[in-house]
Amino acid sequence: MAARSIASLTVSFGLVSIPVKLYSATQARASISFNLLHAKDGSRLRQQYVCIKEDVVVERDDMIKGYEFAKDQYVTFTAEELKALEEESTGTVEITEFVPDEKIDPIYYDKAYYLAPDKGGAKPYALLSEGMRSTGRCALARWAARGKQYLVQLRPVADGLMMQQLLYADEVRPMSEIEIQHSPVKEAELKLAVQLIDQISADEFNPKAYEDDVKKRIEAAVEKKISGKEISVSPAAPTGKGAQVIDLMEALRASLNKGTPKPEQAERKPPKRAAAAARPAKAKAARR
């Protein structure tokens, strides 16, 4: 079955705009998940939030979010206040710089996506891909979606481009936080270790050679229970713009002449929603 695009984006490459379609590179449905049921009658359970002070169930309309800055002390935010702080989704993946592929440690890798050219984007898409292949570099870019700003890496793979969501520096723990006892290695020991490594070495990684044995056991148990008709039926819960492609060579020349500022040189603008929310407050202060 053909993959379905989850979004339409624009990759900003200097003054070149590349319309692309975004596809998830992984399949969440490949994992097995279970629902919580009532052991007495097999019905689905719903989650409730209980106030630890009054011991009563609190409905969502009566909830606000709070940040704990000290033990049991919170600063609170309404949904409107948090919405104003969100990053506005522009649908643009803005490339900020190109770096050698090997300079990005895989520890920063998070979610992975595929990019495919959208209508009118085949030529600049191919040029960006081949440009990175020939230079051995990948692109770092900013992408705003779902109210957040993400750091992403664009790199050529096979016949296309992959967009790898990256973790920020403060999301990765330094290895210096753990204690490693160092021990000297003797020449004979090292030689033996290298021989053992050579015995079970391969020239390529073949992911199909590895399977999740636990998943297979659970699937077999599920099928066995289904065939034995040990089934609990739960009642149903109540339901409640295209990028403009300009002349490619002209845009490339103009981009080179203009120059693209690096992340440390570019001044960060405040989120548009936050700025808009701040204007009424400034106006009230001025009237006072």
109-134 tens-digit pLDDT: 999 999 999 999 999 999 999 999 99
Q: Are 95 and 152 in contact (CB under 8 A)?
A: no
pLDDT of residue 2: 75
pLDDT of residue 246: 55
CATH number of 1-29+84-170+241-279: 2.40.290.10
pLDDT of residue 105: 95
* pLDDT(237) > 90: no
Terminal CA-to-CA distance of the chain, rounded, Å?
A: 63
* pLDDT(245) > 90: no
pLDDT of residue 286: 47
Hey, where are the domains in the chain? Answer: 1-29+84-170+241-279
Mean pLDDT of 59-83: 91
The pTM score is 0.72
* Mean pLDDT computed over every residue of the chain: 83
Distance between CA atoms of residues 243 and 15, nearest Å? 12
Mean pLDDT of 205-232: 82
93-103 tens-digit pLDDT: 999 999 999 99
Q: Report residue 157's pLDDT band, with 50, 70 and 90 as the boundaries.
A: very high
Distance between CA atoms of residues 83 and 256, nearest Å? 38
